[in-house]
Amino acid sequence: MRWQTAWQLLKDVLLTGTGLAVIVLQIFAKQPSDVLLVVGLALTVPSAASHAASIIGGPGVRESSPSSDAAGGQPSPPSSSSPSG
C-alpha cells in the first residue's frame, strides 16, 4: 500500500509539476523546442489519464469499498480435483 501512495505522489506532483514547468518555459521561450514541449506533455499524461478515468469511471478504477468486488464476497466454488466420494 505504501508504494502505491508513493507512486501517486510521484505521478501527481513530480511528473505533472515538471511537465507543466517545461510547457510553461517553452510557451515563454524565444525559440521554443518542439521536443521539449512533447516531453512536457508526456510528463503530464499519467496523472491526467488516471484523473480522467476516475472522473468517467473507466476500467481499472477501484472503488474504496470492499463490497464493490466482482465476486461480491461470495466463496469460490469447490475445485473439481477434490474427491466427491
CA distance 68 to 71: 8
Q: Which residue has the higher pLDDT, 44 or 80?
A: 44
Q: Retrieve residue 69's grid coordinates.
A: 468486488
> Tell me, what's the pLDDT at 45?
85
Q: In this model, does residue 76 exceed pLDDT 50? A: yes
Question: What spatial distance separates the first Cα and last Cα of the chain, rounded to whole Å?
Answer: 43
Question: What are 3-55's pLDDT values in tens digits?
Answer: 888 878 877 888 888 999 999 999 999 999 999 999 998 888 887 777 788 88
> Tell me, what's the pLDDT at 68?
47
Taking Cα atoms as reference points, which of 22, 20, 42 lies closest to residue 32? 22
DSSP code of 70? S
What pTM was computed for the model? 0.55
